[in-house]
């Protein structure tokens, strides 16, 4: 059978041609382009995994974070792949909010490597500018704030910072609660007891180092052991390019197509990380 072609014309006059004689397609494109191609391909019966942010806050679109929202429904046509900061934050907080253990207003500080800023050339991301330095960015206007707030169902204050590493992401969420931190920890442990790609540490520390998760599909979570200033910190670490993008898309696709969930994914972390992580898998 000859593949049928779907064409989408860009504002600059260029035309993108895509084969529609496929079961599924993953779109890693700018928002506007992804939305147009998603509509065109979905209209031809192609299952779409959209890695852009174009559809992450659309109520009618399935949000692809399987541990929290289940596998994509068989009859749906589009799955929106979550952003990197939302993935780490939601995995850390959604079970606590669903259990009524925390107040529905949180503050989150997120730190990401330079790969989270995309591939465009920027002076502030030059090695000589960033080495030995880090700084906040998009404060008060980060597009992930609305995404987190919607799928968490809570008010969110998000501050993001770029740090001098290439990949890896860590978030610290500050939550108010009437419960002891041990109850929050137990909730996360129970929520992810059957989730092989989520590790809950017994306490925060060096095991949250991003090198533990770089090159994996793993999310590593932890809860602060005590309240300080009336709040408890809750932590999450992921590889922003894997769990925050590519491997999460593959995980969704496996579940959607009724394939083994682990197909093509790195093996789940076989032990609870502790100590300083070794050389990053990206360079090993």
Q: Please indicate, yes or no, whether the overall pTM of this predicted structure exceeds 0.85.
A: yes
Residue 283 has pLDDT above 60, yes or no: no
Active-site annotation holds for 84:
yes
Whole-Å CA distances, 67 to 59, 64, 248: 19, 9, 11
The whole-number average pLDDT for the span 182-200 is 97
Q: How far apart are CA 54 and CA 37, in angstroms?
A: 11
Q: How far apart are CA 34 and CA 127, in angstroms?
A: 31
Adjacent-strand bridge partners of 220 = 199, 237
Q: How far apart are CA 262 and CA 236, in angstroms?
A: 22
Residue ranges, comma separated, of all CATH 3.40.50.720 domains in the chain are 5-82
Question: Regarding the domain delimited by 84-243, which CATH topology (the fold level of the hierarchy) does it fall under?
Answer: Dihydrodipicolinate Reductase; domain 2 (3.30.360)
The whole-number average pLDDT for the span 31-45 is 88
Confidence band, pLDDT 50/70/90 cuts, at residue 261: very high
Residue ranges, comma separated, of all CATH 3.30.360.10 domains in the chain are 84-243
Indicate the range of 32-36, 136-140, 172-176, 214-218 predicted with least confidence. Answer: 136-140
* The predicted structure's pLDDT at residue 93: 98
* Catalytic, out of 19, 84, 111, 187: 84
* The predicted structure's pLDDT at residue 11: 54
CATH code linked to domain 5-82:
3.40.50.720
What mean pLDDT, rounded, does the chain reach? 88
The whole-number average pLDDT for the span 49-77 is 95
Q: How far apart are CA 282 and CA 140, in angstroms?
A: 32
Tokens of 201: 């540490």
* The predicted structure's pLDDT at residue 1: 35
Residue 189 has pLDDT above 80, yes or no: yes
Indicate the range of 99-103, 254-258, 272-276 predicted with least confidence. Answer: 272-276
Of residues 220 and 272, more confidence is placed in: 220
């Amino acid at each position: 059978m000859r593949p049928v072609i779907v064409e989408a014309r860009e504002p600059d006059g260029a035309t993108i041609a895509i084969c529609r004689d496929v079961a599924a397609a993953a779109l890693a494109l700018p928002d506007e382009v992804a939305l147009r191609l998603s509509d065109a391909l979905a209209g031809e019966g192609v299952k779409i995994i959209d890695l852009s942010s174009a559809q992450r806050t659309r109520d009618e679109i399935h949000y692809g974070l399987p541990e929290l929202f289940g596998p994509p429904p068989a009859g749906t046509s589009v799955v929106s792949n979550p952003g990197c900061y939302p993935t780490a934050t939601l995995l850390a907080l959604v079970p606590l909010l669903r259990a009524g253990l925390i107040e529905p207003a949180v503050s989150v500080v997120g730190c990401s490597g330079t790969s989270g800023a995309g591939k465009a050339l920027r002076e502030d991301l030059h090695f000589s500018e960033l080495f030995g330095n880090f700084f906040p960015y998009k404060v008060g206007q980060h597009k992930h704030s609305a995404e987190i707030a919607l799928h968490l169902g809570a008010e969110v204050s998000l501050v993001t910072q770029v740090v001098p590493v290439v990949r890896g992401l860590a978030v610290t969420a500050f939550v108010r609660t009437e419960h002891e931190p041990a109850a929050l920890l137990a909730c996360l442990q129970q929520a992810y007891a059957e989730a092989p790609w989520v590790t809950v540490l017994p306490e925060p520390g060096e095991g949250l180092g991003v090198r533990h998760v770089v090159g994996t599909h793993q999310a590593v979570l932890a809860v602060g052991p005590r309240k300080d200033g009336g709040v408890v910190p809750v932590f999450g670490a992921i590889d922003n390019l894997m769990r925050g993008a590519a491997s999460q898309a593959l995980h969704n696709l496996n579940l959607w197509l009724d394939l083994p969930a682990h197909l093509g994914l790195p093996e789940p972390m076989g032990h609870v990380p502790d100590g300083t992580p070794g050389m990053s898998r990206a360079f090993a």
